[in-house]
Structure 1
Amino acid sequence: MSYFSSSRRGWFTVAATAVVGSVALSGCGGSTSTAPTGSEPQTIKFSFSTANPTDTFLQDTAAAFEKANPGTKIELVKLPAETEPQTVTTQLQGGNAADVMNIRSGQGQIGAMNGFAKAGLLLELNDAEFSDRLPQSIEDLFKYEDKFYAVPLSSMPTGLIFNEAKAKELGVTLNADSSFDDFLDQCKVARDKGVSLAALAGTVPGNPGIMTLMLASSTVYGPNPDWNADRAAGKTTFADDKGWQQALEGVKQMFDAGCFQDGAAGAGFDTLISSMGQGKALGFFAPGGAAKSIADGSKGAVNPVVVPMPAPGVSEKYLGTTAELALAGNAKTKSPTLVKKFLKFFMDKQGAEMVAKGQGTLPVNLGDYALPASYAPIAELYKEDKVRPLPQTDWPSAKVYDSLGKGVTAMITGQKSGADVLKEMDTAWGK
């Protein structure tokens, strides 16, 4: 969902931008007043980016808000996906950001909410209408010192974005019931057919990082959803935790079984996505919205499903999800009431479902929302409440996640062991 450099951009944004390119396989200033003198300006600026350059769901949602609120105007400012987190950071610090903007929830990455809130750059959102609409499991990602400063765009389940039709042609079988041993066996079947089961972009830390977090969702955070709090309290460490050891050992087993394409450690997103588009790989690791981007970009020629990743050494399977993509208001806006009203619209049923359908994701309050067909393999995990937020948005700095992503790549080239990687994550975390 964000994509990824060492600065930890949102993986989905970068990955899906690359997907659409390969599988087809205006400045931000203050508000302009259109309201009567003495009242709050009823025009605000909204800066954003989308993973797929052709997506219009945010524009459509803004238009729906205008229709529901006559006399209001949302000026749209589309930013390049690759640089959007850095651009928003610079604009907020410089005092010329839009009234509403894309940011990242929690902390531990560029463009994350906590740093902006700490600096007093974001509008407080303490109305009950915000807090009451956030699931308790993720509300801390949108709070700083018990005050809300952002709203989620959607919930993005993660998994193997899998070309099921192509796999069947080759005799490769992988589904929601597959164990980790099954996964390794199918890696070998795929190799015998001249393809890899999963492509990996080793030069982009977020790709091996998100893959490993999928394993840790079952080995670490499924059994103990409060693991991050335990780490922060000094009750455990990455290096001493059995679940984290299992996750890193699983990565090594996947590499040894030939699950990744040749040269995976040196591959970027272009290689990753082109491998799937050309039938050289059957899947790749990403938030589930990438499945829609591939289907749209290929005009239906490829319709992937999202298969949950099994993990080694555990019988229970948990689904990792992320709600890292968020919206926030500028503390310097001249229209705070209108900004809050606009942000609430994204949490209302109409706005939340427009975003989810356009993005190929899910509303954070799932309710009776029908899962996309591509999510069929993960549907049972939702029914059984075996869903865990990915942990990196609650880590203290981007260095921890960067150490994981880069460390995994070093593992598959034989430069580091799993124990080395976990020790480096502890060092990056600090006391």
Structure 2
Amino acid sequence: MKRTMLSIGSALAAVALLAGCASGAADDGEVELQMTWQAGQEAAVDPVIEAFEKANPGITIKVQYLPVDTYGQVVQTRFQSGNGPDVVWGSPGTGNPNALGLLEAQDNLVDLSDQEFAGDVPDIAGLRNGDVLYGVPVGVFPIGMAVNTAALEASGTTVPKTFDELLEQCRIAASNGYSFVSIAGQGSGLGSLFLATLASQWVLEKNPDWIDQRLAGETTIVGTPEWETTMDRYVEMKDAGCYPEGAASIDTGQQIADLSSGKSVTGVVPADAIVQIASSAPDAKFEMYPFPGDTEDSTRLPISFGQGIGVNKASKHVDEAEKFLAFLQEPENSKLLADGLGAASLNDFNDGKLSGIIASLSDVISSGQTVAYMPLQFPNPEVLTVLGNDVTGLLTGQTSKDDALINLDKAWDKTE
């Protein structure tokens, strides 16, 4: 069936366009489920929907692909107006504007704890609130350094295994007319992800329990030396010429263009983004490696169960929606979706069977050098927003390191 992509610039536009999109049963008894999903993943999601519809005659899924920058706002508006989709895509936890945990906190999502697949969802996936399971992961997404192999050769550089080696490769690349690290210096999207990846590396490598301790009020960002190290490393890369000229004005789209064209050699992105980058540059080859720590042994790869789906509690077709979630948990279907997203299915990740672009991460994963991607456990979206502001402010010099850390603590402690 034909899929539709909805391009929306504001929540008001969403209300106008989606007002008539409630799901229901057709006159012939067929059920049509409404689903929202992030735009850009159509090539991965559509085949899975088609497989589900083939296996379940009488149930069809109408999916609307929404731009990620406005996704959270649009979906929140739909739920608030009583017009939420039957099946909703989002990130685990409460740290992103599109987080499923925000919808769960508003009592909008079905508790899936009684489903047969519930026991297969690990706690680290971040889709539980106490005993309530409010979503299922659609894949395991490593976050690392995507390398444009042609640009790597042309710039005379090699893949660094330590942070000092990375700084040296930045200087070599710059001398040959390349930037070694692409970055979205405007802060949102891949910009905030970059600084969050550095924090996941240095803070959680030193103390894997730091998030729990901060949530319990036992520590602060200002009081954690590794957060200061995170900011120092970010500025050191600027001083070493790692970033493109005018980095503070680069947005996520330009960062992807720089990496796909080979203007930049590497970029820190989640695995699913590499698939999208590669599709825009079919003649280019990409590999993925962990962003290097101070030493090889201290290098940590952030792992994100960064995408999941849940079921609208107010849906008229909860049973059919749950059937779709169960379908996605079957190994062959889980792999079909994960492969399309550039991720690993939960089964393949647990078995150490990585393929495609992320195959080069097998060794670091099998050796246990992984940490959780920190923002999925942030208490509110404001922390990630402030982190994005720091990305820009530290580049331009308008934000000091001390102010950046203080502002993050303030955002962390913010309550509605």
Instruction: Pick the structure with more helix per residue.
Output: 2
Q: Report the AA paired with residue 406 of structure 2.
A: K
Deviations 1:381-425 (A, max 9, x none): 111122222111211111111112211321122222322211111
Measured in 2, the distance between the counterparts of 1:407 and 1:173 equals 29
Deviations 1:14-64 (A, max 9, x none): xxxxxxxxxxxx75312225676xxxx743222323325xx3321211121
Structure 1 spans left out of the alignment, 5+ residues: 1-6, 8-25
**206 and 313 in structure 1: CA distance in 2 versus 1, 3 angstrom threshold:** farther
Deviations 1:208-244 (A, max 9, x none): 3222222222322133222111001121111111221
* Aligned counterpart, 1:155: 140
Q: Give the Å deviation of 1:377.
A: 3.3
**131 and 289 in structure 1: CA distance in 2 versus 1, 3 angstrom threshold:** same
* Aligned counterpart, 1:114: 101
* Aligned counterpart, 1:244: 227
Superposition pairs of residues 222-241 of structure 1, within 5 angstroms: 222-241=205-224
Query: Which of 88, 95, 103 matches 1:101?
Result: 88
* 8 Å contact from structure 1 (residues 206, 402) kept in 2: no
Query: Which of 110, 114, 121 matches 1:127?
Result: 114
What is the SS of the residue equivalent to 1:356?
Answer: helix
* Aligned counterpart, 1:355: 337
* Identity among equivalent pairs (%): 29
* 8 Å contact from structure 1 (residues 28, 77) kept in 2: no
Superposition pairs of residues 368-379 of structure 1, within 5 angstroms: 368=351, 370-379=353-362
**114 and 406 in structure 1: CA distance in 2 versus 1, 3 angstrom threshold:** same
What is the SS of the residue equivalent to 2:244?
Answer: coil
Deviations 1:154-208 (A, max 9, x none): 1211112211232123320115xx1000000000000110111011111133333
* Aligned counterpart, 1:201: 184
Structure 2 spans left out of the alignment, 5+ residues: 1-9, 11-17
**337 and 56 in structure 1: CA distance in 2 versus 1, 3 angstrom threshold:** same
* Aligned counterpart, 2:314: 332
* Aligned counterpart, 1:13: none
**71 and 320 in structure 1: CA distance in 2 versus 1, 3 angstrom threshold:** same
* 8 Å contact from structure 1 (residues 247, 312) kept in 2: no
Q: Are 1:45 and 2:38 an aligned pair?
A: no
Superposition pairs of residues 184-199 of structure 1, within 5 angstroms: 184-199=167-182
What is the SS of the residue equivalent to 1:60?
Answer: helix
Q: Give the Å deviation of 1:95.
A: 1.0
What is the SS of the residue equivalent to 1:198?
Answer: strand
Q: Report the AA paired with residue 120 of structure 2.
A: R
Deviations 1:84-115 (A, max 9, x none): 32221111111112211212211022132222
* Aligned counterpart, 1:415: 398
* Aligned counterpart, 1:342: 324
* Aligned counterpart, 1:75: 62
What is the SS of the residue equivalent to 1:346?
Answer: helix
Q: Are 1:391 and 2:362 an aligned pair?
A: no
* Aligned counterpart, 2:304: 322
Measured in 2, the distance between the counterparts of 1:270 and 1:45 equals 29
Aligned residues: 396
Q: Report the AA paired with residue 92 of structure 2.
A: S
* Aligned counterpart, 1:172: 157
Superposition pairs of residues 24-63 of structure 1, within 5 angstroms: 28-33=21-26, 42-52=31-41, 55-63=42-50
Q: Report the AA paired with residue 96 of structure 1.
A: N
What is the SS of the residue equivalent to 2:206?
Answer: coil
Measured in 2, the distance between the counterparts of 1:305 and 1:248 equals 27
Q: Are 1:296 and 2:279 an aligned pair?
A: yes
What is the SS of the residue equivalent to 1:222?
Answer: helix
What is the SS of the residue equivalent to 1:105?
Answer: coil
Q: Give the Å deviation of 1:81.
A: 4.3
Q: Are 1:308 and 2:297 an aligned pair?
A: no
**405 and 245 in structure 1: CA distance in 2 versus 1, 3 angstrom threshold:** same
* 8 Å contact from structure 2 (residues 162, 295) kept in 1: no
Measured in 2, the distance between the counterparts of 1:80 and 1:358 equals 19
Cα RMSD (Å) of the superposition? 2.3
* 8 Å contact from structure 2 (residues 289, 360) kept in 1: yes
* Aligned counterpart, 2:3: none
Measured in 1, the distance between the counterparts of 2:253 and 2:222 equals 33
**296 and 308 in structure 1: CA distance in 2 versus 1, 3 angstrom threshold:** same
**Which stretch shifts more, 100-109 or 214-223?**
214-223
**Which stretch shifts more, 313-322 or 258-267?**
313-322
Q: Report the AA paired with residue 49 of structure 1.
A: Q
What is the SS of the residue equivalent to 2:120?
Answer: coil
**28 and 350 in structure 1: CA distance in 2 versus 1, 3 angstrom threshold:** farther
What is the SS of the residue equivalent to 2:90?
Answer: strand
Measured in 2, the distance between the counterparts of 1:276 and 1:109 equals 25
* 8 Å contact from structure 1 (residues 161, 307) kept in 2: yes
**Which stretch shifts more, 81-90 or 239-248?**
81-90
**313 and 246 in structure 1: CA distance in 2 versus 1, 3 angstrom threshold:** farther
TM-score relative to the length of structure 2: 0.88
